[in-house]
Amino acid sequence: KNEVEQSPQNLTAQEGEFITINCSYSVGISALHWLQQHPGGGIVSLFMLSSGKKKHGRLIATINIQEKHSSLHITASHPRDSAVYICAVTLGSNYKLTFGKGTLLTVNP
Amino acid sequence: DVKVTQSSRYLVKRTGEKVFLECVQDMDHENMFWYRQDPGLGLRLIYFSYDVKMKEKGDIPEGYSVSREKKERFSLILESASTNQTSMYLCASSLKLSLLWTTEAFFGQGTRLTVV
């Protein structure tokens, strides 16, 4: 069983829609990361959080430590947001990232 | 602007060849990682290093080795390339702030390796 589960696997939205991607994990973590990967491109770190909520532009990430759950929200989605969004966790004192399998987001104009 | 640079974007090698994938970071990070990414499997850790000359096996180290002679450079070596090593390879680095805490990870652009 994967320690990090993401949903949905695929998501298609119309431009302007509010988008939510979910991430659940099964063990205690020291931090949770949201990453973005464009087709053929490298990976960019969007957020690293261990509690509460962070906001950057139209992106918001929240985490509930008790429920072992995090969400990534995109407000007023745009076709350039189309990418794979990956949730990853750092487990305790281990520096390694454990990844979810990603959510492929397609935003249509 | 922080940077993790991988030496090649695309690479084609023959079965049995020795392959070197190079990664250089300019952020003075202690931690460096090599991952491979495959459809349906996501990212999997091959090896990581938390200091010069230090290395630890990740989840799938078989068929790979690594070298970290300098802090800024982390090399992944395929001793004898095989077709099942055809994949996207990603390097990453992070700063070790304390025993329990690191900064976010910074990733290179990836090397798409095809072994024929």
**Distance in Å, alpha carbon of A5 to nearest chain B alpha carbon:** 11
Q: Tell whether the model's pLDDT for residue B98 goes beyond 70.
A: no
Average predicted confidence (pLDDT) for chain A? 91
Judge contact between B94 and B105, C-beta under 8 A. Answer: yes
pLDDT of residue A1: 57
pLDDT of residue B95: 82
pLDDT of residue B108: 93
All residues of chain A having their beta carbon less than 8 Å from the beta carbon of residue B58 are 96
Facing A42 at nearest CB: one of B42, B101, B110: B110
Q: How far apart are CA A103 and CA A87, in angstroms?
A: 9
Q: Tell whether the model's pLDDT for residue B101 goes beyond 70.
A: no
The answer to whether the Cα torsion of B49, B55, B60, B64 is positive or negative is positive
**Distance in Å, alpha carbon of A43 to nearest chain B alpha carbon:** 6
Say yes or no for a CB contact (<8 Å) between A99 and B42: yes
Q: How far apart are CA B30 and CA B55, in angstroms?
A: 11
pLDDT of residue B60: 95
What tens digit of pLDDT does each residue of A17-74 get? 999 999 999 877 878 999 999 887 789 999 988 889 999 999 999 999 999 999 999 9
For residue B26, the one-letter residue type is D
